[in-house]
A and B are shown apart, each in its own frame.
Chain A
Amino acid sequence: MKMMLALGLSACLASAALIAQARSAADLYQEGLQLEEVKGDLQKAIATYHSIVERAPADRGIAAKAQLHIGLCYERMGKAEASKAYETVIREYADQKDPAAQAKLRLASLGGAAAQPSEAAVVARQVWSGSDVDLEGKPSTDGRLITFIDWTSTRSGNVAVRNLTTGENRTLTHSSSFAEGFGEYPVLSPDGRQVIFGWYNDDGQFIKVASSDGSRSRVLVHKPGVYAYELAWSPDGRQVAAIMDNFGGDKTSQIALISASDGSITPLKSMGWRPTSLGGFSPDGRFLVYSVAKSGSDTETGIYSIAVDGSRESVLVKGAANDSSPVWTPDGTSVVFVSDRSGTAGLWSIRVADGQSHGSAELVRPNMGQIFNMGFARDGSYFYGTRNDQTDVFEAAIDPQTLQIAAQPAPARMSDRFVGFNSGPAWSPDGRFVAFLRGEDRRTKSLIVRTVADGTERTLATKFIDSYFAAQMGPTWFPDSRSMIVPDTDAPNQRSTFRRVEIESGKETSLFEARYRSIWPLVKMAPDGKSLYYTTSEPSANPEENILHLVRRDIETGKEIELYRVQSGGVGLFGLCVSPDGTQLAFMLNVPSSGANRSDEGRRVLMTMPSSGGAPRELYKGDYSHPSPFAGVWTKDGRHVLVTTVDTARRMRVWAFPAAGGEPKKLDLTMERMSALDLSPDGRRLIFTGTQTKPELWTITNLIPTVRTAR
């Protein structure tokens, strides 16, 4: 009997071996990755990678990667064989550029690790750059992986994990549209086996947990009306801390603890309306660190630690400076945060013991700029990200007949002054000027008038309380090209103001004021300069059921006439614009798909209607997601309406809709965050606001030499 069993077992094993041989190297490689990264069985992973190297030497791409991963596995195990494995990659697979480069990098890194801490240099290294970089995630505890949202492959954002050593990405969710949902705040569990993330779709937000190989996921929390963010695992993986907005139905925030097993929520501390940033658990799991940003008249700003059992709270840092984004060092002896206390944004640290600060804050690294403080890996490597956003006024040549965007000259920045801080262009009706906004801060933006012929620029004396809408939509010119209307908002005092600014004298007069929130600060002017068109809002008990009114205002008398009304569905009228002859208006509306009227995705309808009032005409209905509410313009011949829409999740595109109906035309012009479209009077030059970003992920080794690495 025993003999028979042994024979049977041998037969099974032989069959398994044959099946394994039959499997492709690519399949085996995936299996190796699963063993290495998901199951953490490094020995078996190494065996699998070895089998690839031995069985598929001809497939040099896969073999090189397998050899590289042998080194990575040994490195994680702390074994000297790692160096040998990397040297093999460099020696045997020099023709395989990526694996060879990675092997060199790891080999150099291992050499550095051998040095004494006191001798180690502070080394900053860029580990990821390019348009696919996303900075919403966190590094894994071993620093090899980073979670992120993949905004590039579909028209939505999927949760993904990137191997920073090999550059390989693994997507854990598979949404193709915003309606299906998109991910937020992904964080790997301390053991690397799970990823927690927010998932947002038309039904609200879900907190989900997925296995890090993407094979399964579950909903941990779904509470209508509650929005959680800044998720952080406890070191034992049993709890997740989060900031939860609207908890209690009053739109205030709470720091809350979520059970990772059953999703039950324990509110730890209420934060009112104060903007709070959560920095995560201390390595011993006893404390959370968070920061409170300045807002309104609040003076309780600073960095705090709070005991997870609710027993106490301590101020770590408090003062007049802007202190934010706290993270723990891996040994729990310090909290590192971003502060402008030296005048510019830098990294600072404060020593912490038993949840309380000791000593005063010390400068760690000055002049970091606007960074994403992503935290430390267990070995002390510090991770941060930079976005490097540049928002400018761009100009593109367009054929007024065919609407082809000219390849030459390519779309380019209009002004080379204060690059990255220009927006909201509007071409004067006589074609001589382009007015736009310039500056970094909403309060200190300037109104610029650029003479098109010679490129000279003049700064007007206009001061803003809040220039956000002016910068988004641009000024509105009067027909004589001698003055324009600029909106200004004063949210604390609930006012929106529309001022007329004379470009020669700089003289300003208030045209009219309205209650902020009851008026959408986007106005368009009739070509004769006698009327303005804009949207007002009538609040409802449910903000998603507000009534929007499209109105015409007689500039001289101030009399308003309602032209059209619609339930807003949480969104407004998009891309409102006036035809060149002033007889027609165009705008885009949200179309509720289920009657709930709250979708910001769904389908859209482009409408035109007589500017004197009357029935609107549906011009086109389609899935043109997220048109910018600030971008819509008629072509000068009145045949098309140009509107910006989402192209991929990050980039927007200009579309041309025939005013007489028919299929829209996709123009060869895309850019991030496109808004404020306008055309030169001859219709040959299209100007707009666009953003170019160059996001990068960096690590710094030995940032704080005194910090011991965590075990």
Chain B
Amino acid sequence: MRHALRTVALVIVGTVALQTAGPRPPLGLDLYRPVPEHNILTREKIALGRRLFHERRLSRDGSLSCAGCHDPRRGFADGRRVARGIGGAPGSRNVPAIVNRAWGTAFFWDGRASTLEQQALQPILSPTELGMAPEGVVALARSAQYRSDFVTVFGAEPTLSDVARALASYVRTIVAGASPFDRYIEGQRGALGADAVRGLGLFRGKAGCTACHAGPTLSDERFHNTGVAWRTGRLSDDGRARVTGAEADRGAFKTPSLRQVTRTAPYMHDGSFATLEQVIDYYDAGGQANPALDSRIRPLHLSAGERRDLLAFLASLTGKVGDGF
């Protein structure tokens, strides 16, 4: 009897913890997973969000779901240079890999959303992406296939914001960690080869990568002008300045996470680099000069061996990806 009571108590405690924090993150990520109080994590809500994430009826022509671009098999990116919307319409920016976004503080390449709840509906309602009307999204949520699930999770008739909350909850559970790098940091010195260890030294030192790619998500969640938008000699994308209007933000983009980086090619906000070798060569050359180039971008003078070492280290950032429970 006492054992049974204890088991019940443990289940209750576990359920309460789950409602606020979700499943325990993998090695390398913080135990504290930021979850807004108005949208706590529950098992049912995450399952609903997962269904919606793969729901093609959330696109106007029924051809695309969120997963159509954020493909779980490709590190939750799509492998294309720039995004493709309904009807194959090309977007202007590369699809970011949406792993570990629970720890993010800025969303989209230009940071126009500051929470996952703000972010979730924008691609669905964008005419060049999934092209849905708000009424269509609400109608789907109130359809026979979804209504009871929404009522169970939110306790009321589904609304547009409930769709956003469910999707955001699911995305918060998409995590990548337990990479060889994480195991090395944990103390397993054999987890990295000698080349990757040298690469880590370069990453932290001579190459200065940690100036932006820092913390467990390997992103400072800030915006930097690395010159990529100026490579044609003129500014091809205002970047962060579209949001702030500030001259200093012209051509600045959010630092992407380097988690799973070997599986998220092509690279940069415009997908203009097909390989990590090209990315390393670009930074080695000091980026592209422009009026607002980040002062930390400078020629690195890496040797061929150092470039190989850096590449080996970047490869060590690919670990296990999980979602939901």
Contacts and interface: CB of A to CB of B under 8 A. Distances in A.
A251 B187 CA distance: 17
A268 B32 contact: yes
B201 A541 contact: yes
A281 to B, nearest CB: 15
10 contacts: A251-B210, A267-B216, A268-B31, A272-B220, A311-B21, A312-B20, A313-B32, A539-B206, A542-B201, A542-B205
Interface string A491-502: 001100000000
A312 B200 contact: no
Contact of A269 (B24, B30, B207, B295): B30
Nearest to B220: A272
Given A267-B31, A268-B30, A307-B32, 5 more contacts: A250-B210, A268-B32, A272-B215, A272-B220, A307-B20
B220 A309 contact: no
Contacts of A175: none
B11 interface: no
A249 B214 CA distance: 9
B32 A269 contact: yes
A512 interface: no
A249 B30 contact: no
Given A250-B215, A270-B215, A310 B30 contact: yes
A248 interface: yes
B33 interface: yes
Contacts of B213: 250
A25 B131 CA distance: 90
Contacts of A307: 20, 32
Contacts of A273: 214
Given A250-B214, A254-B30, A312 B201 contact: no
A312 B206 contact: no
A296 to B, nearest CB: 11
B194 interface: no
A114 to B, nearest CB: 43
A293 B262 CA distance: 37
A223 interface: yes
Interface string B174-210: 0000000000010100000000000011111111001
A312 B213 CA distance: 25
Contact of A311 (B20, B28, B30, B215): B20
A541 B202 contact: yes
A216 to B, nearest CB: 24
Contacts of B32: 268-269, 306-307, 310-311, 313
Contacts of B295: 493-494
A249 B220 contact: no
B265 interface: no
Candidate in B28, B32, B34, B218 with the most chain A CB atoms within 10 angstroms:
B32
Interface of A: 223, 247-252, 254, 257, 266-270, 272-273, 306-307, 309-313, 493-494, 539-543
Interface SS of chain B: helix, strand, loop or mixed? loop
Contacts of B35: 312
B37 to A, nearest CB: 7
B246 to A, nearest CB: 12
Interface residues of B, number: 32
Nearest to B19: A311
A252 B215 contact: yes
Contacts of A247: 185
Shortest 4 CB-CB contacts between residues of A and residues of B: A310-B31, A311-B20, A541-B206, A541-B205
A654 to B, nearest CB: 37
Contacts of A310: 21, 24, 30-33
Interface in B3-60: 17, 20-21, 24, 28-35, 37
Given A313-B34, A539-B206, A541-B206, A270 B216 contact: yes
A158 B192 CA distance: 37
Given A310-B21, A312-B35, A251 B204 contact: yes
Contacts of A252: 210, 214-215
Contacts of B206: 539-541
A448 B214 CA distance: 43
B200 A270 contact: no
A178 B176 CA distance: 42
Interface in B278-303: 295
A266 B186 CA distance: 10
B205 to A, nearest CB: 4
A463 B69 CA distance: 55
A335 to B, nearest CB: 18
Nearest to B21: A311
Nearest to B189: A224
A222 to B, nearest CB: 9
A309 B215 contact: no
A362 B88 CA distance: 60
A311 B17 contact: yes
A194 to B, nearest CB: 23
Given A250-B214, A252-B214, A270 B30 contact: yes
Nearest to B214: A250
Contacts of B31: 257, 266-269, 309-310
A249 B185 contact: yes
B187 A249 contact: no
A273 B213 CA distance: 12
A268 B32 CA distance: 5
Contacts of A540: 205-206
Nearest to B221: A272
B215 A543 contact: no
Contacts of A254: 30
B30 to A, nearest CB: 5
A272 B214 contact: yes
B200 A249 contact: yes
Contacts of A309: 17, 21, 31
Nearest to A248: B185
Given A248-B216, A310-B21, A223 B204 contact: no
Contacts of A494: 295
A250 B20 contact: no
A304 to B, nearest CB: 11
Nearest to A254: B30
